[in-house]
Structure 1
């Protein structure tokens, strides 16, 4: 208990972020607590193990490094492969050997060293105006650089992690020279300077500022659940482009055990629970994402957007290309 209090005081005063209250499993999360609370409630109901979440919008790895062995955190929950890879590279996670996790999670969606595990996936798709875009026009990511889209594309910043993951995938498929030319082509097709989040791009389509945008699939569900944003969502189609010779770009939300993990046994139970059919369906329903475990299905709403074949590139390979992707984005002054 004294160790936990010391760690909590250090985390609050030195890093300026509130620490979680003592629980059986303590979680540092880049995901808003309300997005994962239904899962944690189901876990507690099934096991009797209590959980608590400290939400961070940045600096998770730095916080764990500063806390060291005194950290109260058992688990980290985050989105995007780059953040999971960053945690591994920062040496704040540990390998987890679990027959349950190995059996449930496909190899492409977990760390080769078993330090992180994907629990849901989302596709990086195209939102397209129902009025101004024939769905048959949108086929590949490569096609986004075609001059036919000049003045018709909206997107968020090129330096955002979601964009960098897609650029890394272009690098993986085509190499540096092609990717730089592709970025220049996409930039030339922008209707406005990159800005805002994925939902802001759909609003811009609704307002007639552009015709297509890049976005994650789950934002459609979030917009449809919002009275104001529902009109934006209903103005677009969800379309699934692919890479030439590949599939649709996907990313993950994932989980990892911290290096210090004071409650390792209970933390492992939570990790395994998140790959159960019950948890996968709750996760998919609440967050409008796709389950990673075979035999579990997305919600009816998500299934209604259509089917796609995920690109068969190991996500850690994309994480390793992130720095190269950022360099190219900056070279072409994508956000300029």
Structure 2
């Protein structure tokens, strides 16, 4: 490919790109200082520029504070018929389950996936915003979603979208142990890039304070350095602990996650 940069979402994809020799290392203090070491490639083959937190959203009028605290809680029988999530074909869900595989082992991850499936209020359909709207309408009480989809609803020009967003509250799971699962939007310089200095400069541009603030207030993805003060929306949700333990092994665990989804019947 004549491309100088690979810009994509999902750490697993980037880890595979590195393993297949598609990227080259980049040395940059600006990039190193822009994010925690656990959220970027140890050898500098790719660097993140935003975080995508996958959280639990709960109906404000039907779920009490503290009633659900972890991803593991989603598989408990008290949530039977009260949970929504999008399809297992979503890379967001594949990465989430991969994090459970890494944290808990494949057997516990399989039990979790089966429990989640048994709690679905309907078969998986639509995207994250559709799950949020369905919770707001009363079809279910909780859903799994990336936070930025809620941010888009809350800041929409459409009143119905804003009301749907206002009907739910954000729960950052597993704050007492590994933290919330976060994926990344990231970039890496391709192996055969002909314009390496320019590609590196663009990556550094993406993590500049001005661009980080612009992204935080337009896409509502989290700034890569975790500074919630860049966006009023993020500030209203507050700070949270990130799961930095499982992300480095995402590409290793994703194939197992896909098998577990199939076995659990998560369509």
How much does 1:296 deviate?
A: 7.6
Q: Report the Cα distance in structure 2 between the residues aligned to 1:87 and 1:321, rounded to whole angstroms.
A: 15
2:132 corresponds to which residue? 202
Would the alpha carbon gap of residues 231 and 294 (structure 1) be closer, same or farther in structure 2, given more than 3 Å must change? closer
Q: Report the Cα distance in structure 1 between the residues aligned to 2:6 and 2:53, rounded to whole angstroms.
A: 22
Match of 1:118 among 48, 62, 68: 48
Please give the root-mean-square deviation of Cα atoms over the aligned residues, in Å.
1.8
Q: Is the contact between residue 132 and residue 143 of structure 2 (CA under 8 Å) also seen in structure 1?
A: yes
Match of 1:188 among 90, 111, 118: 118
How much does 1:242 deviate?
A: 1.1
Q: Is the contact between residue 281 and residue 297 of structure 1 (CA under 8 Å) also seen in structure 2?
A: no
How much does 1:278 deviate?
A: 2.2
Q: Report the Cα distance in structure 1 between the residues aligned to 2:184 and 2:246, rounded to whole angstroms.
A: 11
Q: Is the contact between residue 168 and residue 325 of structure 1 (CA under 8 Å) also seen in structure 2?
A: yes
Q: Report the Cα distance in structure 1 between the residues aligned to 2:252 and 2:182, rounded to whole angstroms.
A: 16
TM-score, length basis structure 1:
0.75
Aligned positions of 1:256-275 closer than 5 A: 256-275=188-207
1:216 corresponds to which residue? 146
How much does 1:332 deviate?
A: 1.5
1:106 corresponds to which residue? 36
Match of 2:166 among 214, 220, 234: 234
Q: Is the contact between residue 123 and residue 251 of structure 1 (CA under 8 Å) also seen in structure 2?
A: yes
Q: Report the Cα distance in structure 2 between the residues aligned to 1:174 and 1:277, rounded to whole angstroms.
A: 37
2:238 corresponds to which residue? 306
Match of 1:154 among 84, 91, 100: 84
TM-score, length basis structure 2:
0.93
Q: Is the contact between residue 55 and residue 173 of structure 2 (CA under 8 Å) also seen in structure 1?
A: yes
| Runs of 4+ off more than 4 Å | none
Aligned positions of 1:1-336 closer than 5 A: 67=1, 71=2, 73-226=3-156, 227=158, 228-242=160-174, 245-293=177-225, 297-335=229-267
Structure 2 runs not aligned, ≥5 long = none
Q: Is the contact between residue 280 and residue 296 of structure 1 (CA under 8 Å) also seen in structure 2?
A: no
1:221-259 CA-partner distances (Å, limit 9, x unpaired): 111232041121111111111176211111111111122
Would the alpha carbon gap of residues 124 and 79 (structure 1) be closer, same or farther in structure 2, given more than 3 Å must change? same
Q: Is the contact between residue 228 and residue 234 of structure 2 (CA under 8 Å) also seen in structure 1?
A: no
Structure 1 runs not aligned, ≥5 long = 1-66
Give the match's secondary structure for 1:286: coil
Which of the pair has the greater relative contact order for Cα pairs under 8 Å at 6+ separation?
2
Q: Report the Cα distance in structure 2 between the residues aligned to 1:257 and 1:312, rounded to whole angstroms.
A: 23
Q: Is the contact between residue 175 and residue 241 of structure 2 (CA under 8 Å) also seen in structure 1?
A: no
Q: Is the contact between residue 99 and residue 247 of structure 2 (CA under 8 Å) also seen in structure 1?
A: no
Q: Is the contact between residue 81 and residue 319 of structure 1 (CA under 8 Å) also seen in structure 2?
A: yes
1:32 corresponds to which residue? none
Corresponding residue pairs, total: 265
Q: Is the contact between residue 289 and residue 298 of structure 1 (CA under 8 Å) also seen in structure 2?
A: no
How much does 1:76 deviate?
A: 2.1
Q: Report the Cα distance in structure 1 between the residues aligned to 2:40 and 2:58, rounded to whole angstroms.
A: 32
1:24-74 CA-partner distances (Å, limit 9, x unpaired): xxxxxxxxxxxxxxxxxxxxxxxxxxxxxxxxxxxxxxxxxxx3xxx1x22
1:69-114 CA-partner distances (Å, limit 9, x unpaired): xx1x222221121222232234322111222222333211111221
